[in-house]
Homo-oligomer: A and B are copies of this chain.
Amino acid sequence: MADVEKYFDLVNQDQQAFIETLREVVAIPSVSGDAARRPDVVRMGEWLQARWEALGATCKRVDPGKQNLHGEILDLPPVILGQYGNDPNKKTVLVYGHYDVQPALIEDGWETDPFVLVEKEDGRLVGRGSTDDKGPVLGWLLCAETHKKAGIEMPVNLKFCFEGMEESGSEGLDEIIVEEADKWFKGTDVVCISDNYWLGKNKPCLTHGLRGVSYFHLQVEGPGADLHSGVFGGTVHEPMTDLVHLLSKLVDVNGKIQVPGIYDQVMPITDEEEETYNNLEFSHTALASDLKNDVLIHAEERDTLKHRWRFPTLSIHGVEGAFYASGDKTVIPAKVRGKFSLRTVPNMEPAKVAELVTKYLNDEFAKLGSKNKMQVIETHGGRWWYSSPKHPNFVAGAKATEKVYGVKPDLTREGGSIPVTLTFEENLNVNVLLLPMGASDDGAHSINEKIDKRNYIEGIKLLGAYLHEVANTDLSA
């Protein structure tokens, strides 16, 4: 029996123990966004480090410094760096995950205590962090522990990087990756991140693209202070009036961006890419039902996916400085900021996006002839990430998936961003594979977050199988 088959057998035998381990870590409420939970976040990081060290891994705890959370000065939770195996004849795989979780309160509508893992009859393992990202983070650990227990040699050297601030903007992480690129991370051949989800509920996938995001504040200032609309309505240029006129020029109701030139940099769709949209596990019926109301713009599933994955989009998020509470208030807000962002795709450059958006809004504002002052502020310009699914790292991922699940994985991209992907790729100059464990309906940031027992157990197999495939793959191909 091949090593990987032995590994699969042992995973099957130890399923219940793996669920108990998940129960143990779900019980640590490592909510990075809650100052009161910070000691639990640290405890979770220490739990991981201790368990890896018990296995024989070398770890390095990096404390990224201080954080100001709503006025409270807190220590940032540690980034746990590790090295498990150091054989110059083996390839080296770096894995990333996060051990912090989203906030969760039973009052939010959870069926059960979010920090007590509940095994449901339908196979759901319900608990905060079960799928995001404690399940996958445990996956790497349990894979290594199982290899040791079975006496199977690890097929690669494993490096890891586990952070405790992902749900709170990964504060401090980028600096550490930059700093350690030629030190702790030296020798990394490929990176694998398991922190996203399948496109559907049944079919596994590999993810090879993420959109970037450029965030803008469109500020209009008029009078020196808020005014009473009874006294000043109709006699002064009202910033809100100017703002809604400008915001209405950005995008039409069908999502078509109105900023001239914005589509010029978008990579055309090749026949080869078009084919990847065939047979994806994705249906409008399911989507519309998740959305409660069918407000889908596009008629065809593939068009919805293209607008999620590979076309730029523009969303208006809200207005700062205006009246936002319930009820009625007759204020003329003196200074307002419309917030909007563009999701960007290959080969759009953030600097060019900001230039086009700013020029367009300046031109449109000039046409209005208002005496107010207008300013476009780019608050964030993060690039997209795109990897060819033909890269050997992806081929290894695909083979592992087929071995575990018996099907070729869907090739997906994501509409959102996972910034660390780009940070690793740019600083380590190696390929990054996104290899999700959970399903689309896991509810990562929602109430009743779960991972299906199937995804958890097969996922532990998948991560191991992937390491075996990497060992057998010519990465220079």
By a beta-carbon cutoff of 8 Å, the part of chain A in contact with chain B is 211, 213, 215, 221-225, 227-238, 240-242, 244-245, 247-248, 251-255, 291-298, 304, 307-308, 311-320, 322-326, 328-333, 339, 341, 343, 368-373, 379-380, 414-417
Q: Which residues from chain B contact A417 at a C-beta distance below 8 Å? A: 230
A211 nearest CB across to chain B (Å) = 6
- For A414, give the chain B residue with the smallest CB separation: B230
Partner of A380, one of B297, B328, B371, B415: B328
Taking CB atoms, residues of chain B closer than 8 Å to A245 are: 248, 252-253
Partner of A229, one of B317, B322, B373: B317
Contact across chains for A308 and B242 when beta carbons are under 8 A apart: no
B323–A317 contact, CB under 8 A?
Answer: yes
List the B side residues contacting A328 at CB < 8 Å. Answer: 215, 317, 339, 341, 379-380
State A408–B317 Cα separation when bound (angstroms).
54
- From A251, which residue of chain B is reached at the shortest CB distance? B241
The 8 closest A-B pairs by CB, nearest first: A224-B292, A230-B416, A234-B313, A318-B323, A318-B322, A324-B324, A248-B248, A233-B313
Contact indicator B330/A296 (Cβ below 8 Å): no
Excluding A231-B308, A237-B254, A245-B253, 15 further A-B contacts by CB distance (< 8 Å) are A211-B230, A215-B330, A225-B292, A230-B415, A233-B308, A233-B314, A233-B415, A235-B307, A236-B296, A238-B255, A240-B315, A248-B248, A317-B331, A318-B331, A319-B324
Q: List, in ascending order, chain B residues with CB within 8 A of A253's CB.
A: 237, 241-242, 245, 368-370
Contacts of A325 in B (CB 8 A): 320
CB neighbours of A315 from chain B (8 A) = 229, 233-234, 238, 240-241, 330, 332
Closest Cβ of chain B to A277, distance in Å, is 14
Bound complex: CA A323 to CA B339 (Å): 8
A selection of 19 A-B contacts at a CB cut-off of 8 Å is A213-B230, A223-B291, A224-B292, A228-B416, A231-B308, A231-B414, A232-B415, A234-B255, A234-B311, A234-B343, A235-B308, A236-B296, A238-B315, A240-B316, A245-B252, A293-B371, A295-B371, A317-B323, A319-B322
